[in-house]
Amino acid sequence: MDFQKISRLGAILSKDYAGNFFRLLVTYQDISASEAASRLNLHIKTAQDFLDGCEEQNIVVKTEVFEKKRPYYRYKLLKSELEIRIDLTAFAEKDAFENKLMWKIREKKNSGALFKTASAGNRIASVHYFTGKGRERKERILNVTKSQGIFLYHLPFPTEPHREVQEIIKKAQIGALYVPEVVDVISVLHRNQLIEKA
């Protein structure tokens, strides 16, 4: 199941009245939005949106019926169980990740960023930088993990040659387990123009 679809399902399940709605759907052979709204003391538009959301998720089936020449819809439960499975590894951008390992980078000259060293030394504790201009200018503080801090401690200065990310990682002796979080902080710094690529 794709994450967008799960998000929409989560929005349905999070409604205060969702439990009562499902109780109706289980109890009744089929039900209309107006019947459900009346039963649950909801606005008919609220009931309609909920039922249409359930149809989009294939929880119910919608059937058009005619009564006194006026068409309306009845909803019937399709499933007796819902199962949500999310593959969190799908969020990893493998191609982008491997590409960034080959970036040649260094700290950007005159970026205005302050790389604060941790009290223990040999690593950066946080990066202070500004966003916006004029009165809209705001200071941002990026607190980094230990592995990110060690990597940033070995980041070439603006006056030094660019170095490949994986080379810096090797020099900093960062274990493979922590490489993804290092690549993530590189993305943040590059997006905010605090480091530059060759």
- Give the pLDDT score at 174: 95
The b/e string for 76-96 (b: 16+ C-beta within 10 A; e otherwise) is ebeeeeeeeeeeeeeeeeeee
Which tens digit of pLDDT belongs to each residue from 29-70?
Answer: 999 999 999 999 999 999 999 999 999 999 999 999 887 778
- Residue 102 clears pLDDT 70, i.e. is over it: yes
Task: Provide the pLDDT for residue 82.
Answer: 85
- Distance from C-alpha of 94 to C-alpha of 180, rounded to nearest angstrom: 10
Average pLDDT over residues 4-14: 89
Domain map (residue ranges) of the chain: 3-77, 92-197
CA–CA gap between residue 126 and residue 104 (Å, rounded):
22
- Give the residue ranges of DSSP H helices in the chain: 3-13, 18-27, 33-40, 44-56, 94-101, 146-153, 165-172, 179-191
For 16-26, letters b (16+ CB in 10 Å) and e give eeeeebbebbe
Residue 92 has pLDDT above 90, yes or no: no
Distance CA 82, CA 86 (A): 13
pLDDT digits (tens, 9 = 90+) for 173-192: 999 999 999 999 999 999 99
CA dist 71 and 53 (Å) reads 20
CATH of domain 3-77: 1.10.10.10
